[in-house]
Structure 1
Amino acid sequence: MHMHVFVTGASGWIGSHTVDDLLAAGHTVTGLVRSDSAAEAVRAKGADVLRGDLDDLDALRRGATEAEGVLHLANKHDWSDPVATNRTERAAVETLATALVGTDRPLVVASGVAALADGRPATESDPNPFTGPDSMRGGSENRGFDFVDQGVRTIAARFSPTTHGTGDHGFIAAIVAAAQRTGVSGYVGEGTNRWAAVHVTDAARLVRLGLEQAPAGTRLHAVAETGISTRAVAEAIGAGLGLPVTSVDPADAEEHFGFIGRFFAMDMAATSDGTRELLGWEPTGPGLLEDIAGGAYFPVRVA
Structure 2
Amino acid sequence: MRVFVTGASGWVGTPTVAALLAAGHDVTGLARSDQSAAKVEAAGAKVLRGTIEDYDLLAEAAAAAEGVIHTAFIHDFAKFAENCAIDGKAIAAMVDALSGTGKPFIATSGTGVLQTSELATEEMMAPEDTGFPRISEKATFAGLNKNVRAMIVRLPPTTHGRGDHGFTPWLINIAREKGHAAYVGDGGNCWAAGHRFDAAKVFALALEKGKAGDRFHAVAETGIAMRDLAAAIGKGLGVPVKSIPAEEAKAYYGMFTHFAMMNSRASSALTRDKLGWEPVEKTLLSDLAEDYYFTA
Aligned-partner SS, 1:81: helix
Q: Please give the alpha-carbon distance, in whole angstroms, between the structure 1 residues aligned to 2:245 and 2:39.
A: 42
Q: Which residue of 2 aligns with 1:113?
A: 111
Q: Which residue of 2 aligns with 1:43?
A: 41
Q: Which residue of 2 aligns with 1:235?
A: 231
Q: Please give the alpha-carbon distance, in whole angstroms, between the structure 2 residues aligned to 1:84 and 1:118.
A: 24
Q: Please give the alpha-carbon distance, in whole angstroms, between the structure 2 residues aligned to 1:248 and 1:66.
A: 54
Q: 214, 217, 220: which one pairs with 2:216?
A: 220
Q: What code does the residue aligned with 2:191 have?
A: W
Q: 275, 293, 296: which one pairs with 1:297?
A: 293
Shift, 1:227, TM fit: 0.4
Decide whether the 8 Å contact of 1:121 with 1:271 is kept in 2: yes
Q: What code does the residue aligned with 1:238 have?
A: G
1:187 aligns with 2:183: yes
Shift, 1:239, TM fit: 0.8
Q: How does 1:211-290 map to 2 (within 5 A)?
A: 211-290=207-286
Q: What code does the residue aligned with 2:31 have?
A: V
Structure whose residues are more often helix by fraction = 2
Decide whether the 8 Å contact of 2:116 with 2:264 is kept in 1: no
Shift, 1:216, TM fit: 0.3
Q: Please give the alpha-carbon distance, in whole angstroms, between the structure 1 residues aligned to 2:109 and 2:93.
A: 17
Aligned-partner SS, 1:97: helix
Q: Please give the alpha-carbon distance, in whole angstroms, between the structure 1 residues aligned to 2:205 and 2:102.
A: 17
Q: Which residue of 1 aligns with 2:91?
A: 93
Shift, 1:62, TM fit: 1.7
Shift, 1:223, TM fit: 0.5
Decide whether the 8 Å contact of 2:85 with 2:133 is kept in 1: no
Q: Please give the alpha-carbon distance, in whole angstroms, between the structure 1 residues aligned to 2:209 and 2:104.
A: 9
Q: How does 1:120-139 map to 2 (within 5 A)?
A: 120-130=118-128, 135-137=132-134, 139=135
Q: What code does the residue aligned with 1:232 have?
A: D
Q: How does 1:132-211 map to 2 (within 5 A)?
A: 135-137=132-134, 139-211=135-207
Shift, 1:13, TM fit: 0.4
Decide whether the 8 Å contact of 2:62 with 2:68 is kept in 1: yes
Q: Which residue of 1 aligns with 2:72?
A: 74
CA RMSD, Structure 1 to Structure 2 (Å): 1.7
Decide whether the 8 Å contact of 2:160 with 2:196 is kept in 1: yes
Q: What code does the residue aligned with 1:65 have?
A: A
Aligned length: 296
Q: What code does the residue aligned with 2:32 have?
A: R
Decide whether the 8 Å contact of 2:30 with 2:47 is kept in 1: yes
Q: Please give the alpha-carbon distance, in whole angstroms, between the structure 2 residues aligned to 1:66 and 1:17.
A: 23
Q: Please give the alpha-carbon distance, in whole angstroms, between the structure 1 residues aligned to 2:113 and 2:56.
A: 33
TM-score w.r.t. the length of structure 1 is: 0.93
Q: Please give the alpha-carbon distance, in whole angstroms, between the structure 1 residues aligned to 2:236 and 2:173.
A: 13
Decide whether the 8 Å contact of 1:105 with 1:152 is kept in 2: yes
Q: Please give the alpha-carbon distance, in whole angstroms, between the structure 2 residues aligned to 1:242 and 1:17.
A: 32
Q: Please give the alpha-carbon distance, in whole angstroms, between the structure 1 residues aligned to 2:7 and 2:26.
A: 16
Aligned-partner SS, 2:114: coil
Flag structure 1 segments of 5+ consecutive residues without an equivalent. Answer: none
Shift, 1:68, TM fit: 0.8
Shift, 1:296, TM fit: 4.1
Q: Please give the alpha-carbon distance, in whole angstroms, between the structure 1 residues aligned to 2:113 and 2:70.
A: 21
